[in-house]
Amino acid sequence: MEAGPNPDPPSALQAPWLAPPIALLRRARAAGRYPTGLLIHDERGAGGVALARFAAQLALCRRPNAPCGECRDCRQFIVSQHPDFSELAPIEDSRQIRVEQVRELAERLALTAHAGGATVALIAPADSLNANAANALLKTLEEPRGAVTLILVSAQPSRLPATILSRCQRLRVSAPARAACVAWLERHRGPGPWPVALEVLGNAPYDALAADPAEVARVMTETGRALSEAAAGRLDIPGSAERWARGESFELRLACIETWITACIDAAIGLPRQSSELCSSAYLPESGSDMNIAMLLRLLDGVYELRRLRLTSINRSLALEQLLWPLPRAWRGGAPPAYR
């Protein structure tokens, strides 16, 4: 089976690295110590939202073997119809959770649960709460009604006010090692060049579920080949910049450029690559000995800047050109990096 689309992401119970936080939550519930505020501090794509959904169902299900998956609460939750479960996410395009959304949520939470059970709200990503929204949420955390659970998910909890952090019990979620991520993706999505895809997209298994690994590998190989040519002074830079800027996968292209420069730096300082497939795909310059690392680091800064600005109205083509022109100078004496 080739990797195909996957409409339903695997639940937290299907992610072995989430077993320890799941055990903690089960113990807290069994002891009647389920937190009012729960902050899931996840590494990007490590499954924080899947864990949050598990935590929500655990709070809502009233059976001893919760979440049983069979009772009325569980069935309503699974089809996103539970009357006492709310989800807050940024309103489309705004990338912020606004104060009106939190006030509306607070009103719902102030009502007694429809079926006399728990009331749960999931807020993700919690760091997208703007300042006013965070203040409004704090009031809810300060005056909790019985059996209310607020679940916050954030990869950057330092962006949340300390007053909110201090009222939440924190659970840390990290992605497993690369090999385990690859095995998990193969199990849920089928075989594919997952090591290369994870090298480009980051070790984020839940994010990678939505990716087409063959396409990521194709763009990575093409980009690596072109950058090697650019470093050797043989690439039509304006033409490539123009084509890449118009391409649908601009963000993926930037991720590939970043991966290539990082791989060059690692090679120059003698660091082994995590993905052996990436090395054997033979798109890296042959020898790191004459690379100018300071120059490569500056190029990397340029890529970060472009990633930051990619959603603005910048001239992508021109920005890419500016990034590519200095590439030959990163190899001292203009030594062309060989493409094998």
Would you tell me which residues interact with Zn ion (CB under 5 A)? 61, 63, 68, 71, 74
**Residue whose C-alpha is closest to residue 4's, from 145, 191, 183, 175:** 191
Least distance CB 67 / Zn ion (angstroms):
5
Residue 64 or 272 having the CB closest to Zn ion? 64
| Amino acid (1-letter code) at residue 25 | L
What residue number has its CB nearest to Zn ion? 61
Rg of the chain over CA atoms, in angstroms? 24
68 vs 335, which CB is nearer to Zn ion? 68
Torsion region of 100: left, alpha or beta (phi above 0 gives left; psi -120 to 50 gives alpha): alpha
**The one-letter amino acid at 118:** A
- Which pair of structure tokens corresponds to residue 167? 């009222």
Which of 2, 281, 44, 21 has the alpha carbon at shortest distance from 181? 44
The tokens of 162 are what?
Answer: 């300390």
Which residues touch 85 (CB under 8 Å, ≥6 apart)?
Answer: 56, 60, 77, 119, 120, 121, 122
CA 72/CA 80 separation, integer angstroms: 12
Of 59, 53, 73, 52, which Cα lies nearest the Cα of 28?
59
Q: Shortest approach of Zn ion to residue 77 CB, angstroms?
A: 8
Q: How far is the CB of 57 from Zn ion (least distance, A)?
A: 7
- DSSP for 241-287 reads HHHHHHSTTHHHHHHHHHHHHHHHHHHHTTPPPS-HHHHHTT-S-S-
Picking from 220, 236, 232, 237, the residue whose alpha carbon sits closest to that of residue 319 is 237
Edge to edge, the sheet with strand 169-173 lists: 85-88, 119-123, 148-154, 37-42, 169-173
Q: Which is nearer to Zn ion, 115 or 180 (CB)?
A: 115
Give SS3 for 294: helix
The minimum distance between CB 13 and Zn ion, in angstroms, equals 14
Closer by beta carbon to Zn ion, 120 or else 129: 120
Q: Which is nearer to Zn ion, 52 or 219 (CB)?
A: 52
